[in-house]
Structure 1
């Protein structure tokens, strides 16, 4: 019994050392940059427009936000959020 407790005590630090590291903020190859997204303001929301906005921003993920929709406050450096007007046009776009 004592031997089993000793083996368990020795195994625990090994498990803790193998835990994955937390991701470093901004270390992604897909980090979104919203510097040039103003050019899309006022355009109708289409699949092609979304693809163009992703390409220009470098974002990995795109999230359309309909007029009046609520979004979470979580931050993702790989995400582009496109906020739409009531008539489905781009109101603004931001990374995060």
Structure 2
């Protein structure tokens, strides 16, 4: 009985995890919904990076009209489809 009374002695209480950014998914998985703010904006480096961060994705790429792209689906990548002027038309994961 004396052993069970000391089982927790010397342990520190667990620290709460820091909250994830709103809309972010664990492990770098992409969630395109928070990146929708970028639709209609020019694909500047700061807009692309902000969309990537908000989506929780590890990477982001810009897809231009007629560009040859790989078709593999990557759960950690944000795809920003742009028009011929560089304006973002869609934000999707993959």
Structure 2: 5+ residue stretches without partners:
1-25
Number of residue equivalences: 69
Q: Distance in 2 between matches of 1:60 and 1:34?
A: 12
Give the match's secondary structure for 1:36.
helix
**Runs of 4+ off more than 4 Å:** none
Post-superposition offset of 1:72: 2.1
Q: Distance in 2 between matches of 1:63 and 1:44?
A: 14
Structure 1: 5+ residue stretches without partners:
1-27
Q: Distance in 2 between matches of 1:49 and 1:91?
A: 13
Report the equivalent of 1:65.
Answer: 63
Higher helix fraction (1 or 2)? 1
**Structure 1 stretch displaced more, 58-67 or 68-77:** 68-77
Post-superposition offset of 1:45: 0.8
Q: Distance in 2 between matches of 1:65 and 1:45?
A: 10
Give the match's secondary structure for 1:51.
helix
Per the normalisation by structure 2, the TM-score is 0.67
Per the normalisation by structure 1, the TM-score is 0.66
Cα RMSD after superposing both structures: 1.3
Q: Distance in 2 between matches of 1:38 and 1:32?
A: 12
Larger Rg: 1
Post-superposition offset of 1:54: 0.7
